[in-house]
Chains A and B, each alone.
Chain A
Amino acid sequence: MELSGAEITVRCLAEEGVEYVFGYPGGAVLNIYDEIYKQDKFKHVLVRHEQAAVHAADGYARATGRTGVALVTSGPGATNAVTGIATAYMDSIPMVVISGQVPTPAIGMDAFQEVDTVGITRPCVKHNFLVKDIRELASTIKKAFYIASTGRPGPVLVDIPKDVTQFKTEFEYPKTISLRSYNPVTKGHSGQIKRAVQMLLNAKRPMIYAGGGVILSDAAKQLTELARLLGFPCTNTLMGLGGFPASDPLSVGMLGMHGTYEANMAVQHSDVLVAIGARFDDRVIGNPEHFYQEERQIIHIDIDPSSISKRVKVDVPIVGNVPEVLTEMIKLIKASKEKPDQAALKTWLTQIELWRSRDCLKYDRSSDIIKPQFVLEKLHEITKGDAFVTSDVGQHQMWAAQFYKFDKPRRWINSGGLGTMGFGLPAAMGVQLAHPDAMVACVTGEGSIQMNIQELATCKQFNIPIKIILLNNRYLGMVRQWQEFFYGERYAESYMDTLPDFVKLAEAYGHAGRRIDNPAEVEDALKWAFSAEMKDTLVFLDFRTDQTENVYPMIPGGKGLSEMILV
């Protein structure tokens, strides 16, 4: 039987086992929406802004490992989606975005709501397609899902002109797909793996530096096994938190610009550094020249060859999929008669404990103003470390990363690479829909939350009972911090004046809220938000926090890992 392009699109999504489509309708996608109306294979979540559709699909993908799906109309629908797409691209999130396009004869005519979506998104997608022939529609969607979810994941956009959604053709969904020009490597080179294992066994001051690749490839189990087997300390990037349990004594927490003293010192003084699914980002290693250590050897495991030796030259590159490579390494280590030098390792771990005792995350616990760190510690305590935590971008993000100790992967959901304010709330929607019974907290700032505040309506419509933890410092705090440190305390436009009454705002959208001014009320408010009574209600907690608190440690731009500003 012949189906229309719109029917085919919807059928393809069903074939892929898609559970949720996050989207917003418009002229170019009306045929697709009409087919969505007629089916019951997947649910459509109507957001209030296309950026939020993409972030929600992104949050869903990060929390599950499955490919997120967003649907937007042509022109402004597509341009609104761009920030979301770039966010997913920078953090390598598997996603398929379907955008409507003007009918093929109108392309290039400056038609109503026409933009060159494929051109605009080209630099921030893993790949994209413009479907000009309906006979290629099903195979293109199949390719999109395949490319998005394999190798180094990323967003793939499929632009479908309106006439293509009208035309009819026979529908057959390809079972498999093979692309001669796209064959990601998964198994690491066995010679290189052997060399790496030997290097690890000979290490005296070893350090594991694990990133987002461990989360993306579901390799937390293998990473944890490797570190414990060898007894090696481990640090995680912002994107890698939860890949190794923060509560394990071998964990030294996050490294980088706002990483812990012990993590940064240990990385800098190690003699063998093994980078696993991490890309030596500038927020992590600072200035490559200051990072460089003559006597340190580096092993780098990454599925994307272009991540290797991009910013830092490495000694043993291993191109491959993290779990497969680690499994191979564990096998070799277990089979080997050699063991790492235990005396050297003991000395090294003692040194690390000395660095740890510097207590770099300490803050004033006796303050009668609410300290943001305190709220996060309490959040961790009350949720028993078992919540999914999304965040926006700024100081609150860094404090959440430092103070919510993640023991499990896929629990910490934030925009690292692009640093997109406005990510937290819509991402939390995707997470909560993926895990309806889980506790989902969105840690945010009064600046960030206002970038997608309209999604409170979506939460109401779809009964998404997330808990919003607003650390309200009445400042674009991260900007304020830089201005205090590096711009002579000239606070140009970083004060958030005329803030709304967030409690009333939450109530206006049909939710519950509470404003908290005293440290003594923090615990009670959090208990209330996560109580059985509020289980099905979105709760908006407006914590009035210390306006001048700063994130420590901090490595100033252009400096090296051991040049931290400490409290």
Chain B
Amino acid sequence: MKKLNKIESSAVPLPIENVDTDQIIPARFLKATDREGFGENLFRDWRFKADGTPLPDFVLNQETYSGEILLAGTNFGCGSSREHAAWALADYGFRVIVSSYFADIFRGNALNNGILPIQVEEEILQKLLAATSNNPQTSFRVNLEEQVLEAPELGIKVDFAIDDYKKMCLLNGYDDIDFLLSKKDEIQAFEKSRSH
């Protein structure tokens, strides 16, 4: 897994609420058997017409907006557990997603793929969305070590929460498999100890 600590970037605003993973990557693209290339079809049906021509109103088709940070409406990533959604976001180049609420499974999938989900108050999110929509160059600083998200031009600096273990994984590029394998003896002992 790719390490993550400091990110300095502009952001892409997506003020839509309840973005489900079917929108992030529609089911018809789940026939692939590897993890690569899903970025091409990220938000496919919001981004392109059925014939493949880009829909100019969608934010990813507007050149003024770019960056490694996605600002998204509340309850981001709800619905299907498909990790393909996290792969598509990562493949497209997003490293951080800021929202006021994340669906559980998506949050886990993001963390397992080197994407940092940052949860902020709804009020802060609305300020960030408005600022970025008005000025696409608005810059953001993320510092995972210190658990801080900052938008210097806006005078906004907020702390965010992350579990110590997951933070260590992201900072070092570790994943849970390494950790679980190191616990093999405990797992076997547990299996032996069970009465039902």
A and B are partners in one complex rather than unrelated chains = no
Q: Chain B interface (Cβ within 8 Å of chain A)?
A: none
Using a CB–CB cutoff of 8 Å, the interface residues on chain A facing chain B are: none
